[in-house]
Amino acid sequence: MILFLTGCWDKIEIEEFAFVSVIGLDEGEYGKLRVTFQIANPQIGTSTNIQADEPSSDIITFLSEDLISSRDLASTSVARRLTFSHAKAIIVSEALAQSDKFFPMMEATQRERDIRRDINLIVCKENAAEFIRNNHPPFDIRASKYYEFIASRWQDVGFVPLSNLHRLSLRTLDNLGLFLVTYATTKPKDTKTNFESEGEFIAGQIDKLDENPLQMMGSAVFKEGKMIGKLTGDETRLSLILRPKVITNNILATFPDPLKEGEKISAKIVRGKNKIKITITDDYPIIDVTVPLILSISSIPSQIDYVTDENKQELLKTSIQKRMEELTMNLIKKTQEEFGGEPFLWSQIARRKFWLYEDFKKYNWPEKYKNAKITVKYDIKIEDFGKYNKPPKL
């Protein structure tokens, strides 16, 4: 009997744990790390709620050598043992993300068994400590639930990428392209009121009235484990559309009405399987991409009859195709000239052209991509015109 009981020597009751929901990381003084923990209150948001006037979480910030050792420092004020097993997001300040110590620090944290590799990664414009304290979601008392729900919305909308620790390590160690991380802020500045589309922003530029100042829009661009730039919401969407695998496939977008200047047409976009052909030459690769898009028209404010007039439908398809191709080529030019890498995961297709992975590494795909000859064509198909398949009555 004593032999069987030896497995209980290190048991810990659940009441002895304090569950960290969100982790914030900032650059500290003297090369240290400033760590912020948002610790969930287990009595709030459950059926056993006793005192409604209690705060939903406790937020503490302190200076430490690294993230893992900071957990023991928290014992100076927190009576319970901290655990990262239920943490849903790591918030990193833009200043820290642009430093050389960011990726080595994040890679080292993955050795900790408490930290899950699928934890969401977010880069914020301000300090992470300020971001966590300024974020007050109105419907979700628990911070962990908020970040869990909003991550599912990322996949539907596509204005921000799906980014977590596992993908960061995979793409950085692979070193074949760019990695996109969700960009956010709670300090709006230089809001834009004159824009062409609903995704022509990065976080902080949206003209929004809300008690919660949080904005998540666009992406932080990482190369070799270091932030080097930003993409808008529209550019992030295009980056996801051009990838071989469909992840975001429920996009609502607006396009200029080709027959009435100043008006827009709304549509739901569903992407088919991309046709990506890559020809390898000694000097540069030749990349030909065909993107099939199925559109369901949601609204036509101009009340022009696109429903029964096939000639106007062809004009609409041609207009959308030209606009998508123009925006795409501008994005590709930006990745080649400004970033010197591609976030489209085309390297996964290119490596199949080589017998050995070592030969592919010697080809130096990131360098060759800068001079790649790229053509992108969109195959537009209008599936329907919503529930009301009749021309408008003027």
The pLDDT score that the predictor gives to residue 137 is 84
- Token pair in block for residue 307: 């429903």
Give the integer Cα–Cα distance in Å for 283 and 368.
Answer: 7
Give residue 327's identity as a one-letter amino acid code. Answer: L
Q: What is the pLDDT of residues 55-99, one digit of tens each?
A: 667 889 989 888 887 887 877 777 778 888 888 999 999 999 999
Give the integer Cα–Cα distance in Å for 277 and 266.
Answer: 31
Q: What is the residue whose two structure tokens read 């022009």?
A: 304
The pLDDT score that the predictor gives to residue 148 is 83
Q: What percent of the chain shows pLDDT beyond 70?
A: 90
More confident residue, 173 or 108: 173
**Closest by CA position to 180, among listed 345, 343, 369, 346:** 343
Q: What is the pTM of this model?
A: 0.91
Phi, psi values for residue 182, rounded to 5°: -55, 135
Is the pLDDT confidence value at 1 over 90? no
Is the pLDDT confidence value at 6 over 80? no
| pLDDT band, very low/low/confident/very high, at 390 (cuts 50, 70, 90) | low
Give the integer Cα–Cα distance in Å for 332 and 244.
Answer: 16
Least confident of 290-294, 351-355, 390-394: 390-394
In the chain, count H helices and then E strands: 12, 14
The pLDDT score that the predictor gives to residue 394 is 56
Q: What is the pLDDT of residues 304-342, one digit of tens each?
A: 888 888 899 999 999 999 999 999 999 999 999 999 999
Is the pLDDT confidence value at 9 over 90? no
- State the average pLDDT for the chain: 87
More confident residue, 356 or 69: 356
What's 380's DSSP letter? E
| pLDDT band, very low/low/confident/very high, at 157 (cuts 50, 70, 90) | confident
Q: What is the pLDDT of residues 178-187, one digit of tens each?
A: 999 999 999 9
Q: What is the pLDDT of residues 17-53, one digit of tens each?
A: 788 999 999 998 888 899 999 988 776 655 554 555 6
Map out the domains of the chain with their CATH numbers: 15-234 (no CATH), 242-394 (3.30.300.210)
More confident residue, 389 or 318: 318
